Structure 1
Amino acid sequence: MTRDLLSTLVDVFFVAFGVIIGGAIIGCLGAFLVGKAPLEEMKNLASSLKIWAIVAAIGGSFDAITSIERGLFDGLHEDILRTFLMLFTAFCGAQAGTVIILWIVGGEH
């Protein structure tokens, strides 16, 4: 694995992680301001932001789909592997963020 790919995977993980943590915490503050239950809203946001965290982490879904297409039809298997590694890393970052939020609010995972 090259240093560039490793650097990209670390970035992807922490962007997805940060979207979940930041979105849930800021959303919790908003829920508090309008009189909703903040911890319940934090738990709901952590679950519903997962897909957006993954999309944000990989830089938009169309680039990933184009890379997979290029890999399949042009024989560039490195693009497929790189894209799947990025998607897997983004899933892991989003899941890690969600698990931490659930630990904070005492929810089940």
Structure 2
Amino acid sequence: MNRFFTQATLDFFVAFGVVLGASMLAGMASLFLWQSPQTTMLDIAARIKIWAVVVAIGGSIDPIRVIEWNVSEGYLSPAIMQIAYILFAFLGAHLAGELIQWMCRSAG
């Protein structure tokens, strides 16, 4: 169970970092382009969430194959763990998006 929590925590923070980092860097880039950093950051945060989840769970279709194979073989525990990893990654990406929204609202 320790490995599960370790991997779930890593997935959460990787997805969180991808959304937060991409949004912040896009906001900085928008300053060089004389565009609104708030608009750019909000747009990037919304568009990059799915990619943050993909990056966090391994960047490929393998986790989905693990789920499919385990369910078809009748092993539900590994499939549930993979789904939980995806949910933790989604939670990290979503919370980072909410943080970006909060920062842009309070700055504006």
TM range, normalised to the smaller chain? over 0.9
Give the % identical residues: 30
Letter in 2 for 1:79: P
Kept in 2: contact 1:70–1:79 (CA 8 A):
no
Q: Is the aligned partner of 1:85 residue 2:84?
A: yes
Give the superposition deviation at 1:24: 0.1
**Contact kept? 1:16, 1:90, Cα under 8 Å:** yes
Q: How does 1:1-109 map to 2 (within 5 A)?
A: 2-106=1-105
Q: Return the TM-score normalized by structure 2.
A: 0.93
TM-score normalized by structure 1? 0.92
Q: Tell me by how many angstroms 1:78 deviates.
A: 1.8
- What amino acid sits opposite 2:68 in the alignment? E
Which runs of 4 or more aligned residues in structure 1 lie more than 2 Å from their structure 2 counterparts after TM superposition? none
Rounded to whole Å, the distance in 2 between the matches of 1:91 and 1:61 is 15
User: Alignment partner of 1:49: what SS?
Assistant: helix
Task: List gaps (5 residues or longer) in structure 2.
Answer: none
After superposing the two structures, state which structure 1 stretch, 58-67 or 81-90, moved more: 58-67
Give me the CA root mean square deviation.
1.2
Q: CA separation in 2, counterparts of 1:62 and 1:76?
A: 19
Q: How far apart are residue 60 of structure 1 and its match?
A: 2.1
